[in-house]
Structure 1
Amino acid sequence: MKSALKKKNLVVLKVKDVKRDKELYLHQREAMMALDQSIIDKENNRFAGLIVLPTGGGKTETAVRWVLKNFINQHKKVIWIAHRRELIEQAFESVEKNAITALIDKRKHFNCRIISGEHGSASTIERNDDFIIASKDSLYRGLHHLEEKWLKYHKEVFLIIDEAHRATAKTYRKIMESIDKNAKKFQVIGLTATPFRTAQYEKGLLKKVFKNDIVYQVSLRTLISRGILAQPILKTLQTYINVAEDVSEEEAQLIEKNDTIPPDIANFISKNKVRNNRIVQEYIDNKDEYGKTLIFAVSQTHAVVLNTLFHERGIRSEYVISNGTDLFGKGIISDSNKEKIKRFKENALDVLINVNILTEGTDIPDTQTVFLTRPTTSEILMTQMVGRALRGEQAGGTKNAYIVSFVDDWQNKIAWITPEKLYVGQGVWQDCENNPASFRRLLPLKQIEQFAKIADDTIDTTELEKIEFIKTVPLGFYSFSLEKTNEDGSTFNKSCEVLVYENNKTSFEKLMDKLTAYYSIPDAKGAKKLAKIFADAEDLSVISFLASFGFYSSNDSPTINLIDDVKDIVSHFEINRTAPPYIEFKEREQIDIRGIAQKVYDMELGGKKKKAYIDDVWERNSFLQAYFNHKKLYFRKAIDTELLKLEEPELYSA
């Protein structure tokens, strides 16, 4: 079966004889009942709504089980669209797992076809395909094949759109228009973890796509309060290991795109004694608190090294590594690995180290802690790794889940996915904004570059240094991601952070209000006008547009690439019809470099006394360390600049 899928992108899934279904969580049952009431009971020929379940809430399984029971079982046709390979694979695996008689009792088998750049094009679609799981780009490029080979024969189609906040994009709209034109009965459900505001006064394209609004919604807080998910407790630990010195921009792009660390760098990380001992010591120091701990290692070598160190310290540990891969390139669990996992489940082991295996499919509900010792650019993989510890008490898990991230110094070359970024906007981990280490991980690259310039004696930063230091500290930043397309047609996520300072805060607020007005009505003149402005290749019209909001009127902030930032914001509006999330730097006033310099100046501190005072401030203020990326040189340069302003103000008056 697996080789057939590899070559022909088609699997004939046999319905397994499982008559006793598992017990679903309350929110999953509620979601399925809401779908029944909205779609099955009313028999609407046209329906489009949203299911909003938080990350870890089982969106994919809930939707898959419902369409298998209500559509595949009734010999009706289903299309599942996603924008990433990982989501496509996740959907297929859920379909395969849930093809059971408890859900499908009127069929013995059905055809499931995968359409993507890696599995097969839309030209392979056949009339008797029952469940099509497709990437939106591949399906869009072969839309005529879908119409001629499939849609013309099937008049009732159910469509699921994963990560539905993207459904306003042109590709999704064209696919839906094609199905709508050809099918007599066409119903759509969008899946998302992000609650959308689709009130009457905010009728944008999203509301136009999902005209029946939210069918069912439950918050992450609710699932935690019900004990279904554990309360996550984040901890970020710096390793202070520089692993990016020899990484070129081209290599960084490949790492970010493929989520694969080059062998030489992986080997360096895996064998670094300081880093590995830091990992082991962190567990030993907090053994009672962390409890049963699952570690995600960088490589097989890393797993072996860590396991040896744990044994030397008297910790009951083991490691499991992949013995080959399945058709999607995922690790296969051997019999010896299964035995180790069994021992971990039965509490015969305290620590289990793994490489590319235990992200999904293996149930270890009472895992208390996850150590993230390998970075990832994949939201899905991060979700899976974090999710291993998020099983709540009502689900056989724990009350609290410790998510411990070990962060190397990549000099901000790569937009790694972090637990903080994964859950921004879901109302659970806002406290990470007040966590110094967590804030540093969210601190944009542009801010770090500013410190690096000041610390570089070969660069003239006089104009930047004239600005009052507190005005160079951002009030916060807009944080979001955009889907971009490579030259080969493949897609990747660009992490965007737009810094907001004292002097441009009002300008940004006015801009957001104007963009909200432009995009509140589909196909309005304002949005068309804006598109024309931003089509100016020389950016002259963009500069004029931004100047109308007060940008460029003051230089009391660091130089930033405002045009590119605003273009990204506009792209976000085009997709989401709303402003991007804003993260406030709540502890900004703690970055009081002027006050530190003033005390050194007033007390006439010099030599050893000056150093002792500054060292003491640095050691006691974790926010300062986080803000300066844990590089004391940047901190010292900032103080020296402020001291020079106090000692020689005339140098900065011109």
Structure 2
Amino acid sequence: MLQLRFVRFDGLIRWNTFYNTFNKQAQFVRTYSNTLEKSTELDIVESKPTSNITLRDYQQHAIDSCLDSISNGTNRIAVSLATGGGKTVIFSNLIHQINNNSSNSQFFKALILVHRRELALQALRHLKKTLPEKSIQLELGKYICNPQEADIVIASIQSLTRRLDKYSPTIDTIPSRDNFDLIIIDEAHHSVADSYLKILNYLNPLKLIPIIGFSATFERMDKKGLSLNFDKVVYHKGLLEMIDDNWLCDVKYTSVNIDQLQLNSIETNSSTDQDFNVEQLSKIINTPQINQIILKTYKFKQKSHDLKSTLIFATDINHVLELHKLFQNNDFISNYVTGKTPLQLRDSIIQDFKQGKINILINCGIFTEGTDIPNIDSILLCRPTKSRSLLVQMIGRGLRLHTNKDFCHIIDFINTSNVGVISLPLLVGINVDTEYLSNQLDDVTLNELKTIKENYELQKLEQSLQLEKINQLENGRINTFIENTDAFNLTLVDYESLRDFSNNSKSSDNSNLEDEYIVKSSLPWVKFQKNGWGLSLGKTHHLRIYKDLKSKEYELKMYNDLQSFLDERDIYYSTKVKFQARSIKRSTNLIELIQKVSQIIENLSKVKDKYNDSIIIRRNLTKFAQWRFCDASLKQKSFIQYKLIKVFNSKQNKNYNLTIDDIKSYIKELKKGDASNIIFATSLAPIFPITSLLSAIAYKKRYKNKL
């Protein structure tokens, strides 16, 4: 018998020694690899059958849910089960029970689709134990299946895509050895990828075959709908529920806040998983300073809790290598696995980790799915993610029950700024930006996290009750304001709802100053555009204030009429008034402009118009001038009513929930001061003041209906 000695890089070898040694052993490793792969397959195939497997209650419940759904005619179904729940055990027994219930059991044929080698070998191992009488074959890389002989085909999505033409599609219900009677998809959240759709559309064009998908996370970051393949999730048991039921071990969660970990500038992958761009993420995380924090944190936790089997999720291969080098140089027994690690070397490293020969195993994206290592007692999350499913997969690696652990320590390296990063507290329902999480969490159990959540929700409830009381007071203030304010003055308040008005004092962009110095001013300002206000100083002059939203700057301008105003009976129908503008002042401080307005009014009250030798400002400008409370003239009312009804009937404007009678009722009560303001505003902008006035009339109407 050929005896081979395999020199394994088990972490005891130093970084530079590894590189010097590995090249010398390369040919030997390649020779050993072929032998090891064959022996590994042989070991799996020759696994001893296990009879009378006792299923957990929830596992049988999941199987029953699938059988009931299929018997009721729903064939495209999904099972959502947390990592560690035994999905492979479930679908192995599900195949057995469906086969037993099938009327053509002698022809029964099942396909299991996986996307990773580890998942295929894991499924093969369980099926050989559960169904030893069946011919189970792999369609995986160098392993080529014979469709005519196989009862169950376990296929990687990559290999089956290349060899699809040797399989027959199911186009009728006639029993045949050539057709599949059942398709199982492991880690089915991947199943809407084009490669899966190609296979399913080919093998099951008429949707005759039951398709059952299994996954711990039925959600995708790329927003593709899983309904393409599944009509219903027939069973769900999540991670938190599995922990509560003691099917998975509890966690102790520690958050390590790193100020240097600034993730705001990192781009998001737009076309794939909507997660952080890995290359940019690595540049920020893979630094000597942050890696030292990771090392020191591990040292402290390892000593405090006697950690023996730590799995580290790094960002990329460079990060893996840097962390491995750092741990090696500090006398820790570590090793690593990446996508470039040869499969047989990977198996050997994992086996050493399971046997405790390696204390720290570092990876990037390898152990998120299809890995069963129950002895993991701690996980270091050195790879922030926006993906809930990825986080669940990473945490799930350490939650399997094991005699040597009561908890799995989850250590999360984060930054307190919320940029969409998913964390364990968020899975429990706690937002990371709450005051409860303003400091680091240290060894917090799941129940303690739930207590934090309950306390947080209680505080939110108390705040909600207080806010309700405040809102009641604000509603009273709003109602009083509406009741005591005529409709046109309401047009100065540019809000979509009454609630927005009550929140005005909390808003930014100087809206509270605008409320104080324009809306509540004693001068009759009008609003003629979204960010523009006007004040008439008489027939020949007026002022305007404009606000630039980008610069937050206000500008005060004075306008002169370039032609004499027409007499009163014609002014309402004139559309050719021309103004000459002069900028008076610019400032981000509205108060400075208001002070300048007061100076202008005072000066103009002493100046004569050069055209008609009369004082420019001849009468009281304030809202409280006696003439403003007289009834509007018939001509004023007629003009304004014409404008309101014209805009109201326009199909281009929104539904104001008003009637023509509502408009006439408003016109009937119109005073001369408001009429002058409306006419002045429409001379500056013909539409905006009218639409604002219609909205204000509608506000007044709604207020009256509430009383």
Give me the TM-score of the superposition, normalised by structure 2.
0.43
> Higher relative contact order by CA 8 Å / sep ≥ 6: 1 or 2?
1
Give me the TM-score of the superposition, normalised by structure 1.
0.46
Determine which structure has more spread, i.e. the larger CA radius of gyration.
2
